[in-house]
Amino acid sequence: MSINSYITKKQFHLLIVIICFIVIILDITYLVNKSRNSNSFNSIGSINAPSTKKPTTKDIVNYSVPPLDPKYLIIPSINVNARIYKISLNADKQIEAPSNVYDTAWYSSSSLPGQPGAMFIDGHVSSWTTEGVFYNLKKLVPGDEISVVRGDNKTFTYVVNALKIYPYNNVNMNQVLSSYEPYTAGLNLMTCTGQVIKNTSEFNERIVVFTTLKS
């Protein structure tokens, strides 16, 4: 083997090493960016921070939805009187969150008001600058009442059964989307709680309020 061919072979091996190094760097960069993008304000919802524009009385009064859909959520004990928006799954197959910190969101694949099964509604606990609609959700206790006004203005009242806290990355969604009492009509509410994870906008826990329809 000549010296020239040896140098060429050595250079080729060096080139392979450089290419592998570049690939590793690109993979690391991708994973870091993916991790950052997954730190949503609410892991059930959008990666974007919600709007903090407070709806006016007129906005709330003039709000309308189809007759059988939930329209307003009322929780007297924690002073909640909020609009309910219809949401579905996002591109990552996660349940969306409301786009406004003062609104709530009904997962449209869950039950309708008064129907058997669980109706699932989520909302923000806060933004960086203001308290959200579910800021005091953790203060609810068994026996508290929650009302849902339907699009046709019929009201359904639910009674709190229990509150449960889950780690943010280990929420039992089968349980969250099921009635507290099987085969009955229920309403389950969910928001963030706990502490903000360092260097993210993600809370480390989720709280779920389980209720059943008042007979």
pLDDT level of residue 86 (50, 70, 90 thresholds):
very high
Give the lowest-confidence range in 26-30, 53-57, 96-100.
26-30
Report pLDDT for 199.
Answer: 84
Q: Is the pLDDT of residue 89 over 50?
A: yes
Q: What pLDDT sits at residue 85?
A: 98
Query: pLDDT value at position 201?
Result: 76
pLDDT at 33: 40
Select the more confidently predicted residue: 91 or 135. 135
State what percent of residues in the chain have pLDDT above 70.
78
Q: Given this model, what pLDDT does residue 185 score?
A: 97
What are the tens digits of pLDDT across the range 5-20?
445 655 555 555 455 4
pTM of the model: 0.77
DSSP letters along the chain, please? Answer: --HHHHHHHHHHHHHHHHHHHHHHHHHHHHHHHHHHHT--SSTTS-SSPPB--PPPHHHHHT----TTSEEEEEEGGGTEEEEEEEE-B-TTS-B---SBTT-EEEETTSPPTTSSEEEEEEE-SB-SSSB-TTTTGGG--TT-EEEEEETTS-EEEEEEEEEEEEETT---HHHHTS-SSTTSEEEEEEEEEEEEPTTSS-EEEEEEEEEEE--
What are the tens digits of pLDDT across the range 18-41? 554 444 444 434 333 433 333 333
